[in-house]
């Protein structure tokens, strides 16, 4: 099946697609432009719904609002167009921004930051009471995250290293340990970016500068590859009524001649493969 182009806002870095099950709409962002968009498949309508400070990633809270992870380590709740601050900043992250994030089964959020010229990036865990702790250091580009179906392991992507890792994960405490390499991506095949896990436990990884999605078996073996008309395939998520719609973001919309005619657009495809919904965050609730 050829990917269907749903919307094209010529995103410089289209990222973070997330299905909102309460609204039955898809949200995604253009990180450097500080824009968030949403799409309603029931009507075909899509729109920009936020413009402001940079948003590197977001989760959906149990009350339906969005929890935005921004630059300088700021975390804010976005509700009906208004922002409420959870964290003003993280002092160690004032020179950078958050990148990919994910809520865990207990409502905590694992949230990574970009590296700076002075030091590598980091992965933090934001607990439901608003406290945060650094859980991984020395990260090139903190990126895609996911959980195994039994909730006993967590996937984590370091784009610069070209690796997807798998950690042991304790749902009760949020602790992660015993890092192992799940998949290695050769440099000539692009850079592993955003990811998700489907209902069979297979791992889907977007390939920045690789023009594709790659699906891995739970054992880390490539099972299929789907090509897109854009070099920078950045992330994906499952959504729709039965979670068989795959929504895919791309980047490079500010330079389509070099990045591909689909660069910066949002795509959808349906292969009859079912996904699972992402967990809700419960920060401050």
> Which residues are known to be catalytic?
193
Query: Using CA atoms, how far apart are residues 233 and 71, in angstroms rounded to an integer?
Result: 22
Contacts of residues 184-188 at CB distance under 8 Å and 24 or more positions apart, as own/partner, are 185/210, 186/162, 187/162
Residue 269 and residue 170: Cα distance in Å, rounded?
33
- For residue 262, is it left (φ>0), alpha (ψ between -120 and 50) or beta? alpha
Instruction: Identify which of 159, 174, 170, 167 has the alpha carbon closest to the alpha carbon of residue 126.
Output: 174
CA–CA distance, 212 with 54 (Å, rounded to integer): 26
């Amino acid at each position: 099946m050829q990917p269907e182009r749903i919307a094209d806002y010529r995103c410089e870095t289209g990222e973070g697609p997330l299905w909102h099950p309460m609204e039955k709409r898809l949200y995604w962002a253009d990180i450097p432009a500080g824009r968030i968009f949403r799409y309603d498949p029931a009507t075909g309508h899509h729109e920009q719904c936020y413009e402001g400070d940079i948003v590197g990633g977001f989760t959906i809270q149990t009350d339906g609002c969005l929890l935005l992870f921004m630059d300088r380590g700021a975390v804010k709740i976005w509700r009906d167009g208004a922002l409420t601050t959870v964290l003003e900043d993280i002092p160690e992250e004032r020179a950078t921004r958050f990148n990919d994030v994910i809520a865990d089964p207990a409502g905590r959020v694992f949230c990574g930051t970009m590296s700076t010229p002075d030091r590598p990036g980091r992965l933090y865990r934001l607990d439901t009471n608003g406290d945060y702790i650094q859980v991984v250091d020395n990260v090139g580009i903190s990126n895609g995250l996911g959980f195994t179906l039994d909730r006993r392991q967590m996937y984590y992507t370091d784009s610069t290293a070209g690796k997807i890792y798998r950690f042991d994960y304790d749902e009760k405490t949020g602790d992660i340990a015993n890092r192992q390499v799940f998949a290695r991506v050769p440099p000539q095949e692009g850079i592993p970016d955003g990811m998700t896990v489907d209902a069979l436990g297979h791992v889907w990884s977007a390939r920045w500068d690789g023009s594709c999605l790659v699906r891995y078996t739970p054992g880390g073996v490539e099972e299929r590859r789907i090509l897109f008309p854009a070099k920078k395939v950045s992330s994906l998520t499952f959504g729709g009524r039965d979670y068989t719609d795959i929504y895919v973001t791309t980047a490079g919309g500010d330079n389509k001649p070099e990045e591909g005619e689909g660069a910066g657009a949002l795509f959808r495809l349906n292969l009859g493969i079912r996904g699972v919904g992402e967990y809700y965050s419960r920060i401050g609730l």
